[in-house]
Structure 1
Amino acid sequence: MKITGVELRRIAMPLVSPFRTSFGTETARDVLLVRVVTPESEGWGECVAMSEPLYSPEYADGAADVLRRFLIPALPEHVDARLVGAALEHVKGHQMAKAALEAAVLDASLRASGESFGRFLGAERDRVPCGVSVGIMDSIPRLLDTVEGYLAEGYVRIKLKIEPGRDLAPVRAVRERFGDDVLLQVDANAAYTLADAPRLARLDEFGLLLIEQPLADDDLVQHAALARRLATPICLDESITSAAQAAAAITLGSCSIINIKPGRVGGYLESRRIHDLCRAHGVAVWCGGMLETGIGRAANVALAALPGFTLPGDTSASGRYFATDVTEPFELSDGHLEVPRGPGLGVEPLPEVLAEVTTATEWIPR
């Protein structure tokens, strides 16, 4: 497949409500979109890097720079979409930028061949169960009202963001209000240290599905030590940047569950490799989210339909984050989202919405 050019497009997407985690509060998403154009078709990818390097070292301006200067020029004149990762491998890091470019190339290639993203990846379901991520709230009554609203909408699993001092009380309040039947998990975003193990162990009484990324992203050894002290399963997020890291975590006993975020691991093909690895070792996986628009959400929903994704993911409906999405909105039905069936991602940006939210574009000819 010959690529004639690549467009880098920045869009501004206000959130319907602020989203607070242990590393900061977001009120809007500054999103970098990648559009790959070929003589036969075009394809879209979404870079999930935030405006600032808080969740990971990557950030949107840096992703645009590495795409412009290194990644796009590294693509061969005639590219096989399945080999994009290999063509970019010599560039160290920048997983989110690589993932966006790979997704756009795959989308263009699959649109040309008429194959859906889900079918290409190996999806076995036509819809996926959806959880929702609830940010840190300034009061427990507000948290309870928020959780009640999401359960009323049909979400099948609740994830609470936590940090030291805002952990036991909110989890206890949610359990007491909504009961033990609600699937409940927590996400620390690396806010704790091993010295906090006694406090984290107190979460065991609440029957959680998992505690996500309690310790630093670069410390698999201490996660293994913590896992031996908790009854609650540990899930790794930020620590897993590749299939090799996933293999190391499994070998060390650092986790029994892995959150697969395609942007964090360098793309959907690497995500599939991690899925296959975990499935072979009996490790559960689920699909995380980075407040994606409908472009990234379509790809994530397709990934989450693979057989090893046995836990509900953060593939929430569009309305969880955006009043208006850049694609036709993803809407919850009986706690599930439909996997797009059309060629490629199966969704396209709505021109009028895209024009309204675009803040900058750059065309890079090939």
Structure 2
Amino acid sequence: MYHIETLEMIPISLRLKKPFKTAHGTTKNRPLTLVKLMVSNSVTNEKTIGLGEIQSFSDFSYTLENQSVSREIVKTVIEPVIQTLNFATPQEFSEKLTRLTPFGSFAKAGVEMAVWDAIGKLSNRSLSQMIGGTKQSVPVGTVLDLTADISDIKNAIDKGYQRIKIKIDAKSVDKQNLIARLSDFPNQQFSLDANSSFNRQTAEMFRQLPENVAFIEQPFAENDFVNHAFFQKKTTHLLSLDESINSLDDIHTMIALHAAKAVTIKQAKIGGITAAIAAIQLASHAGIKPWIGGMLSSNLGRAVDLALASLSDITFAGDISESSRYFEHDITVDKFKITQGLMAVPTKNGLGVTLDDSFDVL
């Protein structure tokens, strides 16, 4: 059995190389909260530090849980109880955490990530091994923001990214220019991320998209499963839900309403690694294509995303850019690089990454 002895939260800030603009707003610095747990094995008396990160954002433009709310949930709801919990597996810990609080997905995910890391280290297994990953390397994609131009697309193609996501906003998108840019690269797979900025009328432009657009991500509002279902029935392109997916209940709703044919899986947003695996299995069983989305996370989160992308049910290349893509400095010694469109899945115990002590603390 495992037991958590201490919990520590450390707010950190990662500076982006350049501002990242989406329909939700512009990000210049990425706030995260590092979670450090001291976890012990009651049988062997071994102890280790498990690392996780809380990936909510600084404001409420993406979800109603920001960094301050996440830390408050950990401090007032999770931390007072966490040392009383004994568990044999990360999944059992996740179940107990869910019973403790039905809300606070980002908070729970950050703590659960640290538990997976610690148990992996104590049991000498990588995260990919623990969750049943089947691939040693996985196809990866990258994300271009609203300011991206033709040179950014060419650079991403030169890097070898197998899918390029382009952020769009209904208020500013130049339909003809966008279609022309996509058509200029017929052999490159693209996706478009609308970040809930469209309605039924403005979404009509999607009917003119070329075939190399694999899917359109979240055109309509977070709670608007009905319009997504209506539009998915009318279009030949796949829709993928993102903002709409905040729990396993949302996965069930999506499936029941046939709201999309693909789904963006973000473990931090849905409540953790255990919940993400369940969501992937539910979607895949229903004939919906699950893939791994990104959260502008550090290399801790990137390591988790790579492990999840190694599952056999994952379809499209995930939003898992190189370590050097966004930030001036990341928080780990390890660096993730793309090689011929693929990125290696970490094989060291736990998450498989080591902290670099020189990262910025808020």
Shared fold per TM-score greater than 0.5: yes
CA contact (8 A) 1:171 1:206 kept: no
Q: Which residue of 2 aligns with 1:88?
A: 97
TM superposition score normalised by structure 1? 0.92
TM superposition score normalised by structure 2? 0.93
Amino acid at match of 1:342: K
Q: Which residue of 2 aligns with 1:148?
A: 154
CA–CA distance in structure 2, aligned partners of residues 202 and 173 of structure 1? 11
Cα drift, residue 329 of structure 1? 1.3
1:79 matched to 2:109: no
What is the RMSD computed on CA atoms of the aligned residues?
1.5
**1:250-289 → structure 2 map (5 Å cutoff):** 250-289=255-294
Q: Which residue of 2 aligns with 1:226?
A: 231
Amino acid at match of 1:312: A
1:300 matched to 2:305: yes
Distance 1:167 1:214, change over 3 A: farther
Q: Which residue of 2 aligns with 1:5?
A: 6
- Could you report, residue by residue, the CA deviation over 1:195-222 in whole angstroms, capped at 9, with x for unpaired residues? 323233233x454100000001111111
Q: Which residue of 2 aligns with 1:321?
A: 326
| Corresponding residue SS for 1:221 | helix
CA–CA distance in structure 2, aligned partners of residues 272 and 345 of structure 1? 16
CA contact (8 A) 1:168 1:202 kept: no
Q: Which residue of 2 aligns with 1:211?
A: 216
1:62 matched to 2:72: no
CA–CA distance in structure 1, aligned partners of residues 7 and 174 of structure 2? 44
**1:30-69 → structure 2 map (5 Å cutoff):** 30-39=31-40, 40-69=47-76
CA contact (8 A) 2:140 2:161 kept: yes
CA contact (8 A) 1:22 1:163 kept: yes
CA–CA distance in structure 2, aligned partners of residues 7 and 169 of structure 1? 51
CA contact (8 A) 1:35 1:45 kept: yes
CA–CA distance in structure 2, aligned partners of residues 150 and 207 of structure 1? 16
CA contact (8 A) 1:4 1:37 kept: yes
Cα drift, residue 243 of structure 1? 2.4
Which of 312, 316, 320 is the matching residue for 2:317?
312
CA–CA distance in structure 2, aligned partners of residues 344 and 86 of structure 1? 20
Q: How many residues align?
A: 350
Q: Which residue of 2 aligns with 1:16?
A: 17
| Corresponding residue SS for 1:12 | strand
Cα drift, residue 169 of structure 1? 3.5
Amino acid at match of 2:247: S
Distance 1:325 1:279, change over 3 A: same
- Could you report, residue by residue, the CA deviation over 1:33-64 in whole angstroms, capped at 9, with x for unpaired residues? 11111241111111110111111111111111
Q: Which moved more, 1:78-87 or 1:144-153?
A: 78-87
Q: Which residue of 1 aligns with 2:125?
A: 115
CA contact (8 A) 1:132 1:158 kept: yes
Structure 2's unaligned 5+ residue stretches are 41-46
1:135 matched to 2:145: yes
Which of 346, 358, 362 is the matching residue for 1:340?
346
CA–CA distance in structure 2, aligned partners of residues 326 and 79 of structure 1? 30
Amino acid at match of 2:96: A
Q: Percent same amino acid at aligned positions?
A: 29
Structure 1's unaligned 5+ residue stretches are 360-366
CA–CA distance in structure 1, aligned partners of residues 226 and 143 of structure 2? 27
Amino acid at match of 1:147: I
| Corresponding residue SS for 1:194 | coil
Q: Which residue of 2 aligns with 1:188?
A: 194
Q: Which moved more, 1:30-39 or 1:267-276?
A: 30-39
CA contact (8 A) 2:128 2:307 kept: yes
CA–CA distance in structure 1, aligned partners of residues 252 and 180 of structure 2? 36
Cα drift, residue 272 of structure 1? 0.4
CA–CA distance in structure 1, aligned partners of residues 124 and 187 of structure 2? 42
Amino acid at match of 1:329: K
CA–CA distance in structure 1, aligned partners of residues 84 and 303 of structure 2? 28
Cα drift, residue 309 of structure 1? 0.7
Cα drift, residue 294 of structure 1? 0.7
CA–CA distance in structure 2, aligned partners of residues 197 and 304 of structure 1? 30
Amino acid at match of 1:24: G
| Corresponding residue SS for 2:7 | strand
CA–CA distance in structure 2, aligned partners of residues 346 and 189 of structure 1? 32
- Could you report, residue by residue, the CA deviation over 1:282-310 in whole angstroms, capped at 9, with x for unpaired residues? 21111000111111110110011000111
Cα drift, residue 76 of structure 1? 5.1
Q: Which residue of 2 aligns with 1:364?
A: none
Amino acid at match of 1:116: S
CA–CA distance in structure 2, aligned partners of residues 291 and 348 of structure 1? 19
| Corresponding residue SS for 1:318 | coil
1:201 matched to 2:222: no
Amino acid at match of 1:109: I
CA contact (8 A) 1:285 1:309 kept: yes
CA–CA distance in structure 2, aligned partners of residues 145 and 78 of structure 1? 52
CA–CA distance in structure 1, aligned partners of residues 168 and 138 of structure 2? 26
Cα drift, residue 94 of structure 1? 1.2
| Corresponding residue SS for 1:44 | strand
Q: Which residue of 2 aligns with 1:331?
A: 337
Cα drift, residue 75 of structure 1? 2.3
Amino acid at match of 1:86: E
CA contact (8 A) 1:209 1:233 kept: yes
